Amino acid sequence: MMNSIRTRLLIWLLIPLTAVAAIVSLETFYSAQRVSKDLHDRTLLAAMLTLSENIVASSGSLLAENTLEILTENLGDEFFYYVTGPRGAFVTGYSGYPRIPEGMELQDETPIFYDGEYNGRQVRVTAVRQFLSGGLLNGWATITTWQNTSTRDQLTISLFGRSLLRLFAVVLAAGAIVWFAVSRGLRPISELQEAIDNRTSQDLAPIKRAMPVELSGIVVAMNELFKRVARSKQNREQFIGNAAHQLRNPVAAIKVQAQAALASDEKPDLKLALNEIVSTSDDTGKMINQMLSSASAHALSTENMKDIDLCKIVAHAAQTIAASALEKGQEISLDMDIETLPYHGHEILLREAIVNLVDNAVRHNSCDSKISVGLTINPEDQIIEIGVTDDGEPLDEDTLIALSQPFSTGEETNSGSGLGLSLAKDVAKSHGGNLIVRSNDGGPETSGKTISIILPRKRSSISV
């Protein structure tokens, strides 16, 4: 289950912030360790210098109790020392002092620092070779002082702890700020949801609420969707109304013809009435099939398409209507320069659309007309044109648009259902194309028109 956007943003902001905090914490720890070590060494060096002055003042005697107490109190832990005079003679201090590690060399007047062990505990050691003069001590003396590292470790932990608390407080504050900022920033989404929730199923008006730039694209897409749904709803309601009106007449005609057949006692009249019923039923069935095909074209998706051969479909459509054209005395021909054309589309709907274009040309032209069904490819524009040419009256684009509306049969004739051009246009659009008309009005010998289905050329996976 996907978390809320607020939670996802908070997580994705806190994860890198926590990672950065962890890195900073490590750096803070090592920095605190360096600082505490440096402070401890400086303090130890200062104590050693105090020890040196005290030894000179007392001519090598033991440190006064108050001096040792003051050093121990200031250093925060027990303080140890070891002093040798000229020629390595023991002067004062504690026995068993930590020796200088191998590789380190004591230089005159230059203190050195190193870690060691004393009485089983880790200590920090400072040593210096210093020239002392005064009292009974005259010459080079080596002074070694050391102290347990527990004080230094406590200082490191204290510095690191305080830094870590501040860092943790910063992360918490950043999280709170991010949560507040994200909540405020996502408020437009809640407002958009509220605007949609308050709508009824009939309210498809565009959303006019002002939205941030990030949401403006979503709002534009939703408004386009609302527009398409509203247009689809309007077309569906108009289609249903027109269909009901168109079906009412043939159903009524079938009823009247059936009643006339029942009332007739003459066999010829009865046969004529039955033939009229069959003819009306055929026309009605054809209209219903066209309406179903038109509805299928509107609902067509890529899942319903497959690899087909357009040349075979065009040839089959021309052969289907050829008999009707010949019966009417018309001449019909097939004009294709290619034998095969792979295409990815809906075979049945494309065949139905081409059949309707050819049938429309046969139905609306005179008996001596010439009709040509062609298929051409434009390699430059990468488009396919399936055209039906006749020598009848030319049409312009406005007339074609009017005739391609559902149930429009023109002003001069009422033959047909008025769905042929509408279906062809719907099928073309469902395949990403369109329906166009080109008129040829250059004279009696060149008059006529070509109504074409224009399809974008697509690659097909079949090999022909």
Domain ranges in the chain are 5-157, 213-296, 302-456
Reported pTM: 0.44
Q: Say which CATH topology domain 213-296 has.
A: Helix Hairpins (1.10.287)
Which pLDDT does position 464 carry in this prediction?
A: 35
> Could you give the strand order of the β-sheet that contains 121-134, starting from the edge strand earlier in sequence?
90-93, 79-84, 137-148, 121-134, 112-118
Which pLDDT does position 122 carry in this prediction?
A: 85
CATH code: domain 302-456 is: 3.30.565.10
Q: What are phi and psi of 365, to 5 degrees?
A: -125, 160
| Local mean pLDDT, 10-residue blocks, the chain (464 residues) | 66 80 80 79 78 66 55 67 81 84 85 88 86 72 83 77 81 80 76 77 76 77 82 68 59 70 69 72 65 55 74 88 85 86 85 85 84 86 86 66 51 49 80 81 63 76 39
**No. of helices (H) and no. of strands (E), the chain:** 10, 12
Rounded to the nearest angstrom, the gap between the alpha carbon of residue 108 and the centroid of all alpha carbons in its chain is 72
Which pLDDT does position 460 carry in this prediction?
A: 45
Indicate the length of the chain as a whole number.
464
Six token digits for residue 304: 């319903």
Tell me the pLDDT tens digit for each residue of 193-215. 777 777 777 777 887 777 777 77
Contacts of 311 (CB under 8 A, 6+ apart): 336, 338, 339, 340, 341, 375
Q: 107 in helix, strand or coil?
A: strand
Which pLDDT does position 156 carry in this prediction?
A: 77
Q: 154 in helix, strand or coil?
A: helix
Q: Say which CATH topology domain 5-157 has.
A: Beta-Lactamase (3.30.450)
Identify the bridge partners of residue 374 per DSSP, sorted by sequence position. 335, 387
Which pLDDT does position 413 carry in this prediction?
A: 46
Tell me the pLDDT tens digit for each residue of 412-430. 444 444 555 777 888 888 8
> What's the 3-state SS for 282-340?
HHHHHHHHHHHHHHHHHCCCHHHCEEEEHHHHHHHHHHHHHHHHHHCCCEEEEEECCCC
Element (H, E) at 449: strand 448-456
* Residue 393 · residue 440 · CB < 8 Å: no
Which pLDDT does position 291 carry in this prediction?
A: 60
* Residue 69 · residue 52 · CB < 8 Å: no
